[in-house]
C-alpha cells in the first residue's frame, strides 16, 4: 500500500496550525496527494473539476449567496434587529438556545441545508442576537459584536454537527456500518445512529450552558457599568 498520499493530511494540519489561507492549504494538499498517488496532471485536474461540479456546496454559491446578498441589500438585517427589539420576552440566551434546538432537530432529520451560516446566521440570527445583547448592554463595541457573531456561528455549527450524526442515512453512519460488516459485525444504521444520541444531547446541554454564561457575563458587565455611572 502506498502511504505517501497521506502526506496531504500533514500539509492540512501544518497549514491550519500556521494559519495559512485555508483554500490554498486544501488545494495544495489535494494536488500533493494526487501526485503522490500517481495521478497525472490532466487526471488530477479532471478529478478536482468533477468533485467541484458534483458538490452540493456549488448550490450555496450559485443560488444561496446571491439571494442572501439581495435580501441584505434590501435591509434584511435591519428588519431582523428591529423585530428582535420589539420581542421583550425573547432574551439572547433563549434566542440562541432555541435556534440550537431547532438546528439540531432539523439535522437529525437530515435537513442540514434548511439553515446554515449563509442562510440563517449572518442575515437573521446574528443581527437578532446583537439586538438582544444591546438590550442588556447598549454600549456594545465592535469586539463585542464580533464575539457575539462567533457565538451564533458556533451555535449553528454545533447544532448541525452533532445533530446530523443521529441521521441514519448520513454518510459517516453508513461508513461505520460498512467497516463493521467487513469484519463480520452486522449493525443496522439505526443502532449506530442511536449511539450518537447521548453525544448530541450532551453537546446541546454544554452549548446551552455556554450561551447562558455568555449572557450572564454581559449582564454583570452592564450592571457594573451602571453602578459606576451612578457613583
List of residues 6+ apart from 103 with CB closer than 8 A: 115, 155, 156, 159, 160, 163
Q: What is the pLDDT of residue 156?
A: 95
Task: For residues 7 and 164, give the distance between their C-alpha atoms in angstroms, rounded to a whole number.
Answer: 29
Q: What ranges do the domains of the chain cover?
A: 1-55, 77-230
List of residues 6+ apart from 227 with CB closer than 8 A: none
Strands (E) in the chain, as ranges, are none
Q: What is the pLDDT of residue 56?
A: 52
Mean pLDDT, 10 residues at a time, the chain of 231 residues: 83 88 83 87 79 56 60 68 74 94 91 82 87 86 91 94 83 78 84 87 96 94 79 62
Amino acid at each position: 500500500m502506498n502511504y505517501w498520499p497521506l502526506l496531504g493530511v500533514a500539509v492540512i494540519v501544518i497549514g491550519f496550525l500556521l494559519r495559512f489561507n485555508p483554500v490554498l492549504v486544501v488545494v495544495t494538499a489535494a494536488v500533493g496527494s494526487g501526485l503522490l498517488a500517481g495521478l497525472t496532471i490532466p487526471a488530477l485536474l479532471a478529478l478536482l473539476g468533477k468533485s467541484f461540479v458534483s458538490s452540493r456546496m456549488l448550490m450555496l454559491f450559485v443560488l444561496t449567496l446571491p439571494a442572501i446578498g439581495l435580501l441584505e441589500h434590501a435591509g434584511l438585517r435591519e428588519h431582523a434587529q428591529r423585530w428582535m427589539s420589539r420581542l421583550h420576552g425573547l432574551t439572547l440566551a433563549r434566542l440562541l438556545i432555541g435556534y440550537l434546538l431547532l438546528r439540531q432537530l432539523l439535522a437529525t432529520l437530515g435537513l442540514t441545508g434548511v439553515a446554515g451560516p449563509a442562510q440563517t446566521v449572518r442575515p437573521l440570527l446574528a443581527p437578532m442576537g446583537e439586538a438582544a445583547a444591546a438590550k442588556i448592554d447598549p454600549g456594545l463595541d465592535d469586539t463585542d459584536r464580533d464575539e457575539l457573531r462567533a457565538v451564533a456561528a458556533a451555535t449553528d455549527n454545533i447544532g448541525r454537527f452533532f445533530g446530523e450524526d443521529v441521521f441514519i442515512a448520513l454518510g459517516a453512519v453508513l461508513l461505520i456500518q460498512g467497516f463493521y460488516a467487513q469484519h463480520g459485525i452486522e449493525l443496522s444504521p439505526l443502532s449506530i445512529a442511536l449511539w450518537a444520541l447521548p453525544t448530541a444531547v450532551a453537546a446541546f446541554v454544554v452549548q446551552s450552558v455556554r450561551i447562558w454564561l455568555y449572557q450572564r457575563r454581559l449582564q454583570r458587565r452592564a450592571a457594573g457599568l451602571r453602578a459606576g455611572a451612578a457613583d
